[in-house]
Amino acid sequence: MQRWTRRALSGAAVVGAAVALLAVGAAGSPPAPSGTEPAGNVAPDGSIAALQADLERVPGDFRSWTALGGAYVQQARLTADPSYYAKAEGAFDKALALRPEDDGALTGQATLAAARHDFAGAVALSDRALAVNPDSATTWAVRSDALNELGRYDESLAAVRRMADLRPGADTSSRASYAFELRGDVDRARAALEEAVQLANLPADKAFAQYYLGELAWNTGDVEAARTAYEAGLSVDPSYLPLLAGRAKVLAAQGDTTAALGELRTVVERLPAPEFLVAYGELLEATGQSEQAQEQYDVVRATQRLFAANGQDVDTELALFEADHGTPAAAVVAAEKAHAKRPLSIFTQDAYAWALHQASRSAQALPIARQAVRLGLPSPALYYRLGTIEAAAGETAAARISLQKALSMNPDFDPLRAPEAKALLGSLR
């Protein structure tokens, strides 16, 4: 799951950052609360019903249309049901028809574009919103997240700094942490997340920061610290399901695969998002339950088709999934499409290189895979794939270094890939 998690939740964070603003309205509204996630993880069914009732009474209230759009985007995130995207789009369009160039509705459209993985569109919409209200910290947050996904990392960092000037708080600290982590500065990334925990006013915000503290510890091999962070998050917000998935990784690494499978089963029953379905399927596969694993992979394919049918770009995720569990030809097709749209993103580069390697084009994949680790992100999965590609391309000495780096970060980083990394490193020695 590690290769999915940060990217998938980055999209979720983009959505969550703007929901509080959208619930209030347009320019001149009070600033949004400080959390990167919306206030609480309870599905906003009640808010949707209340807003719909308000709009039946006052259909010309553009602020309520904006808030309804935000509630739909949040509902899509919380349920993994992309059918809410079209409803959100309609609500934002209605708000803008009532008040053209309203910065709240434009920011809402930007969050929707980001949720659909149209990150270039999210940047363009956030720029329009900032032209109306250049002092919206929430809009700067959306812009920063979208720029990260496009691989425009220095511009994203500049947006975080602008956000910090306007509204320092937990959401700014969380984004600063990611900027440090991307560049391999683990100590500063951890300090910024610890600051986010202290600054957060809401349980969901604390849970979000604790989750990424756990992820940071996991990716750098401190399994006990990872478990502590995941459980600390669950103690303040038991409904934050990524924390359960994180704890499942720890349980599996510590040998308790039965408990790990139970936790992942709980997660996918409540939130059947692809990253969790893949994690569940791969742990089933690693424990010899191939038929049950294939069932999960079939659900992943169906879910990806559903997302694509509702306007979400799934090419990067599809490329990695097909490279590992499908056909190399399909992986390359998806990866080429993703790379054409986001050639600077280290995650898109990683997916493209891996797809090429699985299609027996390792020499072509190698320079792309090396670009994917250029920032120094502490990711065992990235270095495992780089090392595997280097070995296939005949770069034995470099492959040993990359595989050793992956395993030194976390020798149990993945139930399927870590054993493969160990076996390949052994054969190279």
As a whole number, mean pLDDT of residues 54-60 equals 92
Report residue 44's pLDDT band, with 50, 70 and 90 as the boundaries: low
Q: What is the mean pLDDT of the chain?
A: 90
**Using an 8 Å Cβ cutoff, are 297 and 27 in contact?**
no
pLDDT at 332 over 70: yes
What is the number of helices (H) and of strands (E) in the chain?
23, 0
As a whole number, mean pLDDT of residues 372-398 equals 98
Report residue 20's pLDDT band, with 50, 70 and 90 as the boundaries: very low
As a whole number, mean pLDDT of residues 177-198 equals 97
pLDDT at 406 over 70: yes
pLDDT at 15 over 80: no
Residue 283: what residue type?
L
Please report the pLDDT score of residue 289 as a whole number. 97
Token representation of residue 41: 């993880």
pLDDT at 40 over 70: no
pLDDT at 43 over 70: no
pLDDT in tens, 208-256: 999 999 999 999 999 999 999 999 999 999 999 999 999 999 999 999 9
Please report the pLDDT score of residue 25 as a whole number. 35
Please report the pLDDT score of residue 272 as a whole number. 92
Please report the pLDDT score of residue 45 as a whole number. 62
The CA distances from residue 412 to 85, 256, 386, in Å, are: 37, 13, 17
Please report the pLDDT score of residue 78 as a whole number. 87
pLDDT in tens, 293-303: 999 999 999 99
What whole-number distance in Å separates Cα of residue 31 and Cα of residue 131? Answer: 17
Please report the pLDDT score of residue 230 as a whole number. 98
Report residue 429's pLDDT band, with 50, 70 and 90 as the boundaries: confident
pLDDT in tens, 340-350: 999 999 999 99
Report residue 18's pLDDT band, with 50, 70 and 90 as the boundaries: very low
Residue 395: what residue type?
E
| Closest among 34, 4, 7 to 19, alpha carbons compared | 34
As a whole number, mean pLDDT of residues 50-79 equals 93
**Using an 8 Å Cβ cutoff, are 75 and 84 in contact?**
yes
Q: What is the DSSP letter of 326?
A: S
As a whole number, mean pLDDT of residues 81-85 equals 94
More confident residue, 123 or 19: 123
Report residue 11's pLDDT band, with 50, 70 and 90 as the boundaries: very low
Ramachandran area for residue 72 (φ above 0: left; ψ -120 to 50: alpha; else beta): alpha
pLDDT at 7 over 70: no
pLDDT in tens, 168-178: 999 999 999 99
12-16, 407-411, 422-426: which has the minimum mean pLDDT? 12-16
**Using an 8 Å Cβ cutoff, are 22 and 42 in contact?**
no
As a whole number, mean pLDDT of residues 308-330 equals 94
Token representation of residue 219: 């990716």
Ramachandran area for residue 193 (φ above 0: left; ψ -120 to 50: alpha; else beta): alpha
Residue 214: what residue type?
G
- Provide the b/e sequence for 134-166 (b: ≥16 CB within 10 Å): eebbbbbbbbbbbbbbbbbbeebbebbbbbbeb
Is the entire prediction scored with pTM above 0.75?
A: yes
Token representation of residue 294: 């294939």
Please report the pLDDT score of residue 275 as a whole number. 94
Residue 198 burial by CB count (10 A; 0-12/13-18/19+): exposed, middle or buried?
A: exposed
